[in-house]
Amino acid sequence: MITIYHLNMSRSERIIWLMEELALPYKLEKFQRGPDLLAPAALKKVSPLGKAPAISDGDLTLIESGAIVEYIINRHAGGKLGVPVSSPDYPRYLQWMHFAEGSAMTQGLVHLFLSGFMPGVDQSSPMAVAFKGRTVEMLSYIDGELSRSPYFVGNDFTAADLMMNFFFGMLTKFLQYDLSPYPNIVKHVALIAQRPAYQKAMALADPPA
């Protein structure tokens, strides 16, 4: 059975959500951030870098949320929620699977650090203004892409949607970012929020105090 090592307010919520979508059995071990918002030292006992997500599957320990998602889909779910290489939608699926961390989360974290999360940053400096402006460009691009279909890869929910959702959550939860200028993103996020597996996973990942 797969064990998920979950840190609150982290990308490991993706893995809980994936397992719930796939209705696969798993064991959940939770870790809580300290007052400094850092992971506890105990997480290093199960994750080589002391970060989440991490899973164990027998003798295997695997880190990196995208890799874990692909591993579970291909090794344990017969490809469900993925897109076959032979499909004409495969390139689009591949793009959004990697965009989630390679572009979206990178920009999101830059925006976070330039918005007061890191003390001493002059938020009015030309560099800060320019870098935060790139978030608008990115969201406009994503919104345009979602005008084509309700999900990132056509009319069906895939792991690409699961990967991308964390970016939207980070913007709204940590930055209180207003997504209303992007109606297709708003519709997409609302559609995701209706999924029973998503609702259960979020309740498990970060239950209300």
pLDDT digits (tens, 9 = 90+) for 170-186: 999 988 999 999 999 99
Does 36 share its domain with 63? Answer: yes
208 inside domain: no
Confidence of residue 120 (pLDDT cuts 50, 70, 90): low
- Taking the C-alpha atoms of residue 71 and residue 88, their distance in angstroms, rounded to an integer, is 22
As to burial, measured by CB atoms within 10 angstroms (0-12 exposed, 13-18 middle, 19+ buried), residue 3 is middle
Residues 6+ apart with CB under 8 A from 191: 150, 151
Give the residue carrying structure tokens 């913007």.
171
pLDDT at 116 over 80: no
49 inside domain: yes
Q: Is the peptide bond before 53 cis (omega within 30 degrees of 0)?
A: yes
Q: HSE on the CB side for 184, CA within 13 Å?
A: 14
147 inside domain: yes
- Taking the C-alpha atoms of residue 26 and residue 78, their distance in angstroms, rounded to an integer, is 17
Q: What pLDDT, on the 0 to 100 scale, is given for residue 152?
A: 98
Tell me which of 39, 57, 81 is where a domain ends: 81
209 inside domain: no
Residue 139 CA: distances (Å) to CA of 15, 136, 164, 200? 24, 5, 12, 27
Confidence of residue 168 (pLDDT cuts 50, 70, 90): very high
Does 70 share its domain with 117? Answer: no
Q: What is the pLDDT of residues 72-114, one digit of tens each?
A: 999 999 999 999 999 999 999 999 999 999 999 999 998 888 8
Give the residue carrying structure tokens 């949607």.
161
Does 168 share its domain with 97? Answer: yes
Confidence of residue 126 (pLDDT cuts 50, 70, 90): confident
pLDDT at 42 over 70: yes
Q: Which residue range(s) make up the domain with 162? A: 90-196
Q: What pLDDT, on the 0 to 100 scale, is given for residue 209?
A: 59
204 inside domain: no
pLDDT at 117 over 70: no
> What are the phi and psi torsion angles at 128 (to 5°)?
-65, -45
Residue 113 CA: distances (Å) to CA of 106, 107, 134? 11, 10, 14
Q: What pLDDT, on the 0 to 100 scale, is given for residue 177?
A: 94
Q: What pLDDT, on the 0 to 100 scale, is given for residue 119?
A: 67
* Sheet arrangement for strand 60-63: 26-31, 2-7, 54-57, 60-63
Does 70 share its domain with 96? Answer: no
Mean pLDDT of the chain: 93
206 inside domain: no
Q: Which of 90-94, 132-136, 141-145, 148-152 has the lowest mean pLDDT?
A: 132-136
Tell me, what DSSP letter sits at residue 51?
-
203 inside domain: no
186 inside domain: yes
Number of continuous H segments (helices) and E segments (strands) in the chain: 8, 4
Does 118 share its domain with 176? Answer: yes
Sign of the torsion formed by the C-alpha atoms of 74, 78, 202 and 62? negative
Angle (CA) 20-3-198 rounded to 5° is 20
Q: What pLDDT, on the 0 to 100 scale, is given for residue 28?
A: 97
Q: What is the pLDDT of residues 9-29, one digit of tens each?
A: 899 999 999 999 999 999 999
